[in-house]
Amino acid sequence: MSEQTLAASATMPPETWRAPTAEVSVVRLVLIGVAVLFIGVFLGFPLLVVFFEAFLNGVAKYFETFADSDTQHAILLTLLVAAIAVPANLIFGVAAAWAIAKYDFRGKALLITLIDLPFSVSPVIAGLIYVIMFGAQGYLGDWLKAHHIQIIFAIPGIVLATIFVTFPFVARELIPLMEEQGTQDEEAAISLGASGWQTFRRVTLPNVKWGLMYGVLLCNARAMGEFGAVAVVSGHIRGLTNTMPLHIEILYNDYQWVAAFAVASLLALLALVTLIVKTLLEWRFSDELANGPR
């Protein structure tokens, strides 16, 4: 035997060999086919339709949509809400994750459960709770009115509802990550003379930065796309309390389909960008994200 065939036979498995977990090819093809078909029908096709409908009457008509002041306002409002809700949840998420992962205290399990609440509660219920709390007929309605504070049917209500719906994202991402990392690095930093803040900024934060970005990304996507909770508290006032998702609904109900899909295409684009950045993060830093890639 020549050296070459020796080397080849050393690296190539025999033809009859099959990895123990590998399915026979027919089964494998069917499974992959089903998965691709499912994703295509339920995800890919609607996405295509959004862009198709948006550009149905040409590029000019598409961009005309964004000249409309109500549409512009809806986009700006969405950006504003996200710009408040995401940093708020960033701070809350980091604080909650820090407390849960690094300290032992009574009611810890309860706190973890509460953080998950927005995942299990219907967003509409979340919105209704705010209406009952802060609405004109609500518990605090009279007091708020006396002090000329309007929350429901105004921007503060939208921000509150969005914060509620999106607050698990950052905390959920950080808690397992911080728990896994334990407190040893922090102890090392403190024993080297670092203050609490220095330890946080120089050691804790860098240790979780990719997980944090990941959580913020998901939080932002949800904050911009939230419909249910916001719909209840906003009052649908055009040019005042309409966010992008609400504006899309109104345009659609007004038979302004191109405009509706044009705005929808922005949200779809946001989803795509989120997906790409998320995939990049997972691909590059999977070992530094909680529970690895999802």
Partner 1 sequence: MTALAQFRRDTDYIEANLSLVAPFVDERLRVKTMNVTVENLTKAFGATPALHGVSLEIASGELIALVGPSGSGKTTLLRLIAGLDFPNSGRVLFGAEDASSKSVQERNVGFVFQNYALFKHMSVFENIAFGLRVRPRATRPSEASIRQRVMTLLDLVQLNGLEKRFPGQLSGGQRQRVAFARALAIEPGVLLLDEPFGALDAKVRKELRRWLREIHDRTGHTTVFVTHDQEEALELADRVVVMSQGRIEQVGSADDIYDNPATPFVFDFIGDSSALPVIVDKGSIALDDRILSIDAKGHADGPATLFFRPNHVRLAGQESGSIVGTVTGSRRHGDIRRLELEVGLARHRCEIDVPADSDVSRNGRVAIKPTDWRLFPRDS
The per-residue DSSP string of 264-286 comes to HHHHHHHHHHHHHHHHHHHHHHG
Instruction: Pick one of 207, 227, 236, 271: the residue that binds partner 1 (CB under 8 A).
Output: 207
Q: C-beta of 119: minimal distance to partner 1 in Å?
A: 31
Contacts with partner 1 by CB under 8 A: the residue count is 16
Q: C-beta of 47: minimal distance to partner 1 in Å?
A: 37
Cα(first)–Cα(last) distance of the chain, in Å?
47
x/- mask, partner 1, residues 22-51, rule CB under 8 A, reads ------------------------------
Cβ neighbours around 273 below 10 Å, total: 12
Query: Tokens representing 36?
Result: 């691709």
- CA separation for the pair 250, 230 (Å, rounded): 14
8 A C-beta contact, residue 175 and residue 109 = no
- CA separation for the pair 259, 130 (Å, rounded): 31
Q: C-beta of 211: minimal distance to partner 1 in Å?
A: 13
Q: Which is nearer to partner 1, 208 or 231 (CB)?
A: 208
Site for partner 1 contains 103 (CB under 8 A): no
Instruction: Pick one of 44, 58, 206, 293: the residue that binds partner 1 (CB under 8 A).
Output: 206
Q: 91: Cβ–Cβ under 8 A, 6 or more apart, which residues?
A: none
Q: Which is nearer to partner 1, 188 or 272 (CB)?
A: 188
Site for partner 1 contains 80 (CB under 8 A): no
Instruction: Pick one of 30, 83, 125, 188: the residue that binds partner 1 (CB under 8 A).
Output: 188
Instruction: Pick one of 155, 190, 267, 271: the residue that binds partner 1 (CB under 8 A).
Output: 190
Residue holding tokens 């006032």?
Answer: 237
What is the rounded (10 degree) CA torsion for 135, 76, 243, 46? -160
Instruction: Pick one of 9, 122, 195, 286: the residue that binds partner 1 (CB under 8 A).
Output: 195
Residue type, 87: P
Instruction: Pick one of 82, 129, 131, 189: the residue that binds partner 1 (CB under 8 A).
Output: 189
Q: Which is nearer to partner 1, 18 or 201 (CB)?
A: 201
Task: Name the nearest CA neighbour of 77 among 67, 65, 88, 85.
Answer: 85
Site for partner 1 contains 193 (CB under 8 A): yes
Residue type, 267: L
What residue ranges bind partner 1 (CB under 8 A)? 184-185, 187-195, 198, 202-203, 206-207
